[in-house]
Amino acid sequence: MIRPYTPSDKSSVLSLVRLNTPEFFHPSEVEDLSVYLENELEDYFVVEEEGKVVAAGGINYFPESKSARISWDVVSPNFHGKGIGAKLTKFRVDHAFSKNGVQTIVVRTSQMVYRFYEKQGFVLESIEKDYWAEGYDLYLMRFKK
């Protein structure tokens, strides 16, 4: 079940990032996500399985550029490869495009995950070495309507 995030989900979402550290996230990103959840989230969703949060991801909007950015995607390691991340990504792409004016969606990811987004229809635009932290490169990708 995909549902909107509530503040009571925060500890569960942060736990998901910790479970994916350091394979997909640098340890410093746990605090970055905490700040995001407190101050920067616009639309953020969680996936529940049997009452437990097993995935999460957000969307931020940039009306001036008619774009949206999906952000802070995380899936429990126990659920990797089961299609939950793909369903959550499709849900957010559809949700973002339903917003008036959104014409393109960006994702900023890493070398560890960019192939997942390629499978979802995103196209790699640029790479910036050590952007997130040393050894965690930025892969900027775009999905157009």
- The pLDDT tens digits for 6-19 are 999 999 999 999 99
Q: Which helix (H) or strand (E) holds 137?
A: strand 136-144
Structural domain count, the chain: 1
* Bond before 4 cis per omega within 30 degrees: no
| Residues with pLDDT less than 50, the chain | none
Which among 108, 111, 109, 113 is positioned nearest to 135, based on CA atoms?
A: 111
CATH number of the CATH domain containing 128: 3.40.630.30
d(CA 115, CA 88): 16
Residue 139 φ then ψ, to 5°: -115, 110
Helix (H) or strand (E) holding 90: helix 84-98
Residue 100, pLDDT score: 80
Q: Which domain holds residue 66?
A: 2-144
Q: How far apart are CA 50 and CA 35, in angstroms?
A: 28
| pLDDT, position 137 | 96
pLDDT tens figures, 30-45 = 999 999 999 999 999 9
| pLDDT attached to residue 144 | 74
Tokens representing 93?
A: 């792409």
Amino acid identity at 105 = I
Q: What is the DSSP letter of 144?
A: E
CB 72 within 8 A of CB 58: yes
Strands 67-75 and 104-109: parallel
